[in-house]
Chains A and B, each alone.
Chain A
Amino acid sequence: MSETSVFDDLPGDLMIWVLIVSELLVFGAGLATFLAVRLTDPEGFALAQDMLHRTGAGLNTVVLVTSGALAALALHLRKAARRGPARLALVGAAGLGVVFLTIKGAEYAAKASAGIGWDTHPFFTFYYLLTGFHAAHVLAGVVVLLLVAWQDTPRNIEAGAAFWHMVDLVWVLLFPVLYLLR
């Protein structure tokens, strides 16, 4: 007799979902703590937030969601046995990940040249902690995408793309809270 589990319904490997939920919990706790600490100094947080470049972060969101679309397309192509275009889509997704990191690096450099550090205000402590941790995931994701472009079994691409979508998912929650909520 075969037994089916509700976990069988999940697309892809169960472990990638464990990772996705873990990451959402970590970043979720960080964002909730950020807003809780903001209660102690709303004006200070608003002034600090005004020093961020909202349009630049919006542009970076466009870059990251486009990269996510390319990763999803790569899996679609690989399942259709179109290995070359799938690899190209993965390299494109990784390339846009590098663009995201470059824009983020320019953002950090602008803050540093303005004399803004992680200890300037509690807002910036959370800003550097959360965006820096996210950027580390983007860097890891770029490596993962290039690895699965090389070892391009459908299962590998599915896992690599899922990791990349998780990075995307975290950003679409982080971006409005850190940059946009005034």
Chain B
Amino acid sequence: MAMLRDPLLRAWGWLIGLSLCSTGVSLWHWPATLTPLAGALILTLGWLKARVILGRYLGLEAAPFWRRGFDIALALFCLLLLGLYLVSGLL
């Protein structure tokens, strides 16, 4: 049980879980109308994985100012990617 509380092991578990989820979402046969939702979900999962790596592995959890900065910058970047992805569905 003590191992399950280990922050490194938990971070690894989260990363594996999020990676499997995003692959599963992509392999699922979504109805055409829900494909944009699947794309948004995949990008959100990617953003969450990046947050885990920055916070737990690169140690930004101990530096809240930088953590917030990276979170915001990465969220804006993922929103840009999402916007470009969604626009292609409108063309």
Contact = CB atoms under 8 A, between A and B. Distances in A.
Contact of A181 (B42, B54, B63): B42
Majority-rule SS of B interface residues: helix
Interface residues of B, number: 42
B46 A172 contact: yes
Contact of A65 (B9, B16, B65, B91): B16
Interface string A26-56: 0010011001101100100000000000110
B8 interface: yes
Nearest to B67: A9
B53 to A, nearest CB: 5
B49 A39 contact: no
B75 interface: no
A110 interface: no
B85 A181 contact: yes
Nearest to A73: B8
Contacts of A169: 50, 53-54, 58
Interface string A7-35: 00111100000001000000010011001
Contact of A69 (B12, B19, B88): B12
B30 to A, nearest CB: 8
Contacts of B72: none
A55 B80 contact: no
Given A9-B63, A168-B57, A61 B88 contact: no
Majority-rule SS of A interface residues: helix
Given A54-B26, A168-B53, A180 B63 contact: no
15 contacts: A9-B62, A11-B59, A12-B58, A12-B59, A20-B58, A35-B81, A42-B89, A58-B22, A62-B16, A69-B57, A169-B54, A180-B23, A181-B85, A182-B35, A182-B39
Interface of B: 8-9, 11-12, 15-16, 19-20, 22-23, 25-27, 35, 38-39, 42-43, 45-46, 49-50, 53-54, 56-60, 62-63, 65-66, 77, 80-81, 84-85, 87-89, 91
